Amino acid sequence: MNDWNASKLSRRIFALAGLAATAALVGCGKKEEPPAPAAQAPAAAPAPAPEPLKAAWIYIGPVGDAGWSFAHDQGRKAVEAEMGDKVKTTFVEKVSYADGERVIRDLASQGNKVIFATSFGYMDAMLKVAGEFPDVKFEHATGYKMAANMNVYDARFYHDAYVSGIIAGGMTKTNTLGFVASFPIPEVLRNINAFTLGAQSVNPKIRTRVVWVNTWFDPEKEGAAAQELINKGADVLLQNTDSTAVLQTAEKNGKYAFGWDSDMSSYAPKAHLASNIVDWSPYYKKTIKSLMDNSWKGEQRTIWGKPEGANDVIKIADFVPAELKTKAETAMDGIKTGSLEVFTGPIVGSDGKERLAKDTKADQAWKDKVDFYVKGVEGKLPSDKK
């Protein structure tokens, strides 16, 4: 069980790394193939049948996990669908962190121009291989280490969580929301806080209860956590774990919940309020195109969210009142156009301390190290010193 937890955590970690790796891969095309990208460039399409650009993806899970790796593979397929025979994509699934370096090196030596490693834990392996293959570009998802031929990419899941919070705040009858959380890392804390802030924007009385399951994936445990939250009065739940168990537990109890990472509406027709999804394809397409016209640059960190089409809240249930739906959609539009920043001061921590001054918009550095609950979230963080 612990192994599972560890592997899931590392999967995410690797996913982050993967993004960077992808970027890196994009950066360093194989030396025999530089003309191929050029063929894509408008001006100098030289010979007949240019060599397709080879791109590779590494997944921590199986592509059939209906969650994280599945979403990345959808992005890969979108690239293939749009670029046709100008690209040749391959993927390797279920690559453990221990095998990461070997697989990345294999892919680099097989003539791939760009390699996307889609979990945080691949980070150091990818950085190492990037040093050995300066002509290959490496793109690593969710990590933070970069190089001349290695980029990092990520998504803004808290955009979705905020919009879901608005819906949750309007639908709750007990003013108590529940969150089934995986690990106390900034990404997850951003989601818990954004969910709570969104709900408070329509209902100031909102309290959020959090249960940490310390795993990305354990359907039975996730379901039990959801049940406990419901037993304690929570009637709208969100999770950032991988299975549909939370949603199904809500359905069984006649409560509400959301889908996470992919469209989960079919799992719980009565409980499903909306699905929070991530779409990696805009970034993958952009990266491949930048390789084709030689505009790829290394040392870049790209975090896309709602404005770039990377995150979205879809399938808002028909039974959500029209007025509430409009509020959620207005917020979505605001996030999309940039007029609404989820983390805008004053933001007060659950300890009463001000974390962001009035009318200040949080910058990336602030978001990178969120280590507190906002006011309204109950309990203490697992990492807090007593």
Partner 1 sequence: MNETALLINTALASGTTLALAALGLLINERAGVLNLGAEGMMLVAAVAGFATALLTGSDTLGFVAAAAAGAALAAVFGLLVIFLNTNQYATGLALSLFGYGFSAFVGVSMVGKSLSPRQQYAMPVLSDLPFVGPAFFSHHAMVYVAMALTAAVAWFFYRTRAGLLLRAIGENPEPAHALGYPVRLIRLAAVCAGGALCGLAGAYVSLVTAPLWVEGLTAGRGWIALALTVFATWRPARALLGAYLFGGVTVLQLSLQAEGVQISSHLLTMLPYVATIVVLAVISRNAAFIRLNMPASLGRPFRPGS
Segment near partner 1 (CB under 8 A); pick from 43-51, 151-159, 167-175, 215-223: 215-223
Among 62, 120, 111, 66, CA closest to 91: 62
Instruction: Provide the β-strand partners of residue 92.
Output: 58
Q: How far is the CB of 20 from partner 1 (least distance, A)?
A: 26
Mention every residue, 6+ apart, whose C-beta is less than 8 A from residue 187. Answer: 142, 157, 240
Q: Does 215 bind partner 1 (CB under 8 A)?
A: yes
Among 175, 203, 214, 360, binds partner 1 (CB under 8 A): 214
Sheet of 207-212: strand order equals: 207-212, 176-181, 236-239, 256-261, 272-278, 311-314
Segment near partner 1 (CB under 8 A); pick from 15-23, 74-82, 212-220, 320-328: 212-220
Structure tokens at 259: 């889908």
Q: Does 232 bind partner 1 (CB under 8 A)?
A: yes
The DSSP call for residue 71 is H
Contact mark string toward partner 1, 131..170, x via CB under 8 A: ----------------------------------------
Q: Is 208 left (phi over 0), alpha (psi -120 to 50) or beta?
A: beta
Q: Does 371 bind partner 1 (CB under 8 A)?
A: no
Q: Does 293 bind partner 1 (CB under 8 A)?
A: no
Rounded CA-CA distance 194/294 in Å is 38
Q: Does 318 bind partner 1 (CB under 8 A)?
A: no
Q: How far is the CB of 181 from partner 1 (least distance, A)?
A: 9
Q: How far is the CB of 373 from partner 1 (least distance, A)?
A: 11
Q: Does 256 bind partner 1 (CB under 8 A)?
A: no
**Cβ-based nearer residue to partner 1, 175 or 344:** 175
Q: How far is the CB of 383 from partner 1 (least distance, A)?
A: 8
Q: Does 222 bind partner 1 (CB under 8 A)?
A: yes
**Cβ-based nearer residue to partner 1, 163 or 247:** 247
Q: Which residues, 29 to 68, sit near partner 1 by CB under 8 A?
A: 61-62, 64-66
Q: How far is the CB of 171 from partner 1 (least distance, A)?
A: 19
Write down the H helix ranges in the chain: 2-27, 35-40, 68-83, 97-109, 123-132, 157-171, 186-202, 219-231, 245-253, 281-292, 322-337, 364-368
Contact mark string toward partner 1, 168..207, x via CB under 8 A: ----------x-----x-----------------------
Among 145, 252, 285, 325, binds partner 1 (CB under 8 A): 252
Burial of 269 (0-12, 13-18, 19+ CB in 10 A): exposed
Among 74, 90, 227, 344, binds partner 1 (CB under 8 A): 227
Q: CB count, 10 Å around CB of 51?
A: 16
Q: Does 209 bind partner 1 (CB under 8 A)?
A: yes
Q: Does 315 bind partner 1 (CB under 8 A)?
A: no
Rounded CA-CA distance 320/49 in Å is 53
Residue 208: in which H helix or E strand, if any? strand 207-212
Tell me the backbone φ, ψ of residue 375, rounded to 5 degrees: -60, 135
Q: Is 88 helix (H, G, I), strand (E, B) or coil?
A: strand
Rounded CA-CA distance 202/195 in Å is 12
Q: CB count, 10 Å around CB of 302?
A: 18
Q: Does 257 bind partner 1 (CB under 8 A)?
A: no
**Cβ-based nearer residue to partner 1, 65 or 154:** 65
Q: Enumerate binding residues for partner 1 (CB under 8 A).
A: 1-4, 61-62, 64-66, 178, 184, 209-215, 217-225, 227-229, 231-232, 234, 242-245, 248, 251-254, 262, 266-270, 378-380, 382, 386
